[in-house]
Amino acid sequence: MIGIGIIGTGGISHAHADGYIQLPDRAEILAVADIDYDRAKSVANQWGVKHAFSDYQEMLKLDQIGAISVCTYTKAHAQPSIDALNAGKHVLVEKPMAATAAEGIQMAKASRKNNRILMVGMKWRFMPEVLATKAFIENSKLGDIYYAEAIGWQHRGIPGQSFIRKETAGGGAFMDNGVYTLDTALYLMNHPKPVAVTGSSANIFGHFADGEWDPEQFNVEDFGTALIRFEEGMTLFFAHSWAINFREQWQIRIAGNHGSAEIYPFSDPKLRLMHGGYNDLTEFTPEDLPEGSIDISYEIKQFVNAIENKLASPIPADTFLYTNLIFDAIYQSTNLGHEVKVDTPDFS
Ligand SMILES: NC(=O)c1ccc[n+]([C@@H]2O[C@H](COP(=O)([O-])OP(=O)(O)OC[C@H]3O[C@@H](n4cnc5c(N)ncnc54)[C@H](O)[C@@H]3O)[C@@H](O)[C@H]2O)c1
């Protein structure tokens, strides 16, 4: 039985708790912590959890706790994760991994140093269409991949509270929801090393009093585009908006010289796989999609399973970090007005 602690008891912590509660013989939530103690106490009562703390360090002293879900807002992902890893706990941290690449590197290093799992809670990695595409690519159906697109046009998706402030979220639309398409594309491309980024991010709607948000508080991007170059010569076009005057459209498309894969997570059909030559490109429809789910309870099951069976992290931090390297580079490129170089850390 794995003792679980949850740090941060806001919106998404409830999905984590549900996931653990669905595994009554394998995991038990023993404690929660939130700087808002009343909130921690209230969810502890709701979930029947014995301990509630305002300082997560107190929780990390409990030997019975073997694993931690970090459900704080993004700017507070790094320190609790590092402290938990240093205390010998396995960590499942919510997406995006960190607010900056520098923080992400410290997290990945703490995981290596302590030989503890650091898993990033990117639920789309378990989407059946993503798994089917990964298998299609691993079967060499795309040939050499040379281009990808990661696009999320939300029509009216500006979130509230901690998401619109750099001080809590670290960044805006890119880091909140752009991370889903960006990570999926990088995963399907098998994580080529990014070497240069030209990007532009902007606050188009946020600085107007035109919705539920407070424009005085809103200091992150709600729109942005970027072109990412990789070591192997591939390119990726990445764009995301919380609010654009287009109809809602999300897509991850990967092009190779012998085929392509297109995933439309919120449209029908969700998946389009093509394979063949210049004159005989044909659509390939998988008979059955692989088992998987974007429910957070599924992700929790993978985390618990990895701990029980001493497996590697199901979503490892070392390569997930590339999303943070790219976000940093986009913000830098926006400020400088030109392309910037990206250095990937060497963990060897
Ligand atoms: N996977 C998903 O589907 C999904 C959905 C929503 C949010 N998220 C991610 O989950 C994270 C949290 O989002 P949310 O909507 O729950 O945010 P939220 O603002 O509702 O909750 C965050 C909580 O963290 C607490 N907190 C902040 N710093 C802390 C610290 N040092 N110690 C203890 N508690 C601390 C806050 O008091 C708050 O209660 C974000 O990174 C977000 O991107 C993921």
* CA–CA gap between residue 341 and residue 325 (Å, rounded): 10
Q: Give pLDDT, residue 210.
A: 85
Q: What is the biggest distance separating any 2 CA atoms in the chain, rounded to whole angstroms?
A: 65
Q: How far is the CA of 252 from the centre of ligand 1 (A)?
A: 26
Domain assignment present for residue 185? The answer is: yes
Ligand 1 contact via 167 beta carbon (within 6 Å): no
Q: In this structure, are 114 and 241 located in the same domain? A: no
Q: Give pLDDT, residue 348.
A: 67
Domain assignment present for residue 207? The answer is: yes
- Say yes or no to pLDDT of 282 above 80: yes
Q: In this structure, are 301 and 260 located in the same domain? A: no
Q: In this structure, are 311 and 275 located in the same domain? A: no
Domain assignment present for residue 346? The answer is: no
* CA–CA gap between residue 178 and residue 60 (Å, rounded): 32
* CA–CA gap between residue 95 and residue 296 (Å, rounded): 12
Residue 263 near residue 251, CB atoms below 8 Å = yes
Q: In this structure, are 100 and 192 located in the same domain? A: no
Q: How far is the CA of 132 from the centre of ligand 1 (A)?
A: 31
* CA–CA gap between residue 330 and residue 348 (Å, rounded): 26
Atom 2 in ligand 1: residue holding the nearest Cα: 12
Q: In this structure, are 107 and 191 located in the same domain? A: no
- Say yes or no to pLDDT of 178 above 80: yes
Ligand 1 contact via 72 beta carbon (within 6 Å): yes
Ligand 1 contact via 299 beta carbon (within 6 Å): no
Residues contacting residue 86 through CB under 8 Å, at least 6 positions apart: 110, 113, 114
* CA–CA gap between residue 303 and residue 67 (Å, rounded): 9
Q: What is the pLDDT of residues 97-149, one digit of tens each?
A: 999 999 999 999 999 999 999 999 999 999 999 999 999 999 999 999 999 99
Q: In this structure, are 6 and 153 located in the same domain? A: no
Among candidates 130, 139, 341, 336, which has minimal Cα distance to 252?
Answer: 130
Q: Give pLDDT, residue 211.
A: 83
Domain assignment present for residue 287? The answer is: yes
Q: In this structure, are 304 and 188 located in the same domain? A: no
Domain assignment present for residue 347? The answer is: no
Supply the mean pLDDT for the chain. Answer: 96
Q: In this structure, are 187 and 328 located in the same domain? A: yes
State both tokens at 149: 């697109």
**Distance set, CA 334 to CA 48, 57, 252, 283 (Å):** 47, 37, 23, 39
Q: How far is the CA of 47 from the centre of ligand 1 (A)?
A: 18
Domain that includes residue 74, residue range: 2-123+296-316
Model-wide pTM > 0.85: yes
% of the chain surpassing 70 pLDDT = 100
* CA–CA gap between residue 315 and residue 338 (Å, rounded): 32
Q: In this structure, are 92 and 173 located in the same domain? A: no
Ligand 1 contact via 78 beta carbon (within 6 Å): no
Under the banding of pLDDT at 50, 70 and 90, the label for residue 338 is very high
Domain assignment present for residue 348? The answer is: no
Nearest ligand 1 atom, CA 72: 24
Q: What is the pLDDT of residues 213-232, one digit of tens each?
A: 999 999 999 999 999 999 98
- Say yes or no to pLDDT of 272 above 70: yes
Residue with tokens 């409990």: 62
Domain assignment present for residue 157? The answer is: yes
Residues contacting residue 336 through CB under 8 Å, at least 6 positions apart: none
Q: In this structure, are 211 and 328 located in the same domain? A: yes
* CA–CA gap between residue 188 and residue 182 (Å, rounded): 10
Q: In this structure, are 268 and 305 located in the same domain? A: no
Residue with tokens 């320190």: 79
Q: What average pLDDT score do residues 264-277 get?
A: 95
Helix (H), strand (E) counts: the chain: 11, 15
Residue 118 near residue 317, CB atoms below 8 Å = yes
Query: What's the structural domain count of the chain?
Result: 2
CATH of residue 142: 3.30.360.10
Q: How far is the CA of 17 from the centre of ligand 1 (A)?
A: 13
CATH of residue 43: 3.40.50.720
Q: In this structure, are 218 and 165 located in the same domain? A: yes
- Say yes or no to pLDDT of 309 above 70: yes
- Say yes or no to pLDDT of 153 above 70: yes
DSSP single-letter state for residue 289: P
